[in-house]
Amino acid sequence: DQQVKQNSPSLSVQEGRISILNCDYTNSMFDYFLWYKKYPAEGPTFLISISSIKDKNEDGRFTVFLNKSAKHLSLHIVPSQPGDSAVYFCAATGSGTSYGKLTFGQGTILTVHP
Amino acid sequence: EADIYQTPRYLVIGTGKKITLECSQTMGHDKMYWYQQDPGMELHLIHYSYGVNSTEKGDLSSESTVSRIRTEHFPLTLESARPSHTSQYLCASSEYGGGGTDTQYFGPGTRLTVL
């Protein structure tokens, strides 16, 4: 049972435009969400997170939006840069998870063209 | 920048060999994790630890074992490697963020190939 889903395997955008990566979840116990960026042959790098008490969190070019009623979150990258090309994973966890377990989506490959 | 290290980065080994993947962190984090990831797939938790002398199995069944004798060190061992163990192994650590808001920081991973 896939509790965190990233339904778009890939996304291609032009440099300078907005990239929007989407993520859906099914477990209503999740209340903390994270986005990671991963280059091939490297470990994931933490980008940004959001708690369920918020609907938006911003950090530089990265903004994460959370729609709890729809169980949906999205990562916006503005403006997109070629160096942003990577695999993006969303992950979720809940306060009821005693060991901080993260459940990951399958990832979305973002390609930013110069 | 998180300080978490994994060695080796790449390992090609024959079936039946015993291997140990090393993971160390210098942040003093109590919690450490091992994930397995196949290409194009999500990360699956195979082991985790709350602290010294604490280890637990994760969601994905794994024939590997782990130990946590020191806070900074969390090695993973396969007693007898098989081709089905071919994968990328990622180590992570976190400090308690309160209310389940732990943020995990990952090492660079070990790409294991068993022939």
Radius of gyration of chain A (CA): 14
Asked if the Cβ–Cβ distance from B40 to A106 is below 8 Å, we say yes
Average pLDDT of chain A is 92
Beta bridge partners of A51: A32
Per-residue pLDDT, B42? 87
Touching A: B residues 56-95, CB under 8 Å: 56, 58-59, 90-92, 94
Please determine, for residue B94, whether its predicted confidence score (pLDDT) is greater than 80.
Answer: yes
CB contact, 8 Å: A47 with chain B? Answer: no
**Average pLDDT, stretch B48-77?**
92
Give the model's pLDDT for residue B49: 93
Model confidence band, residue B25 (pLDDT cutoffs 50, 70, 90): very high
pLDDT in tens, A56-91: 999 999 999 999 999 999 999 999 999 999 999 999
- Higher-confidence residue of B77 and A99: namely B77
Residue A50 in tokens: 């959001």
Partner-chain contact A100 B90, CB within 8 Å: no
- Average pLDDT, integer, range B98-113: 84
Distances (CA, A) of B29 to A33, A49, B24, B54, B56: 20, 19, 10, 13, 17
Is A24 in CB contact (< 8 Å) with chain B?
no
- CB A56, CB A43: distance < 8 Å: no
Q: What is the pLDDT of residue B100?
A: 57
- Mean pLDDT over B70-91 rounds to 95
Interchain proximity B104–A100, CB inside 8 Å:
yes
The mean predicted confidence, pLDDT, of chain B is: 91
End-to-end CA distance of chain B: 35
pLDDT in tens, A7-26: 999 999 999 999 999 999 99
User: How open is the CA angle A85-A87-A110, to the nearest 5 degrees?
Assistant: 45
For an interface test with A, give the residue of B21, B30, B101 to mutate (most A CBs within 10 A): B101
Residue B8 CB neighbour total at 10 angstroms: 12
- B41 pLDDT band, cuts 50/70/90, is confident
For B100, the closest of A41, A44, A94 (CB atoms) is A94
Q: What is the pLDDT of residue B101?
A: 66
Q: Which of B94, B101, B109 sits opposite A43 (nearest CB)?
A: B109
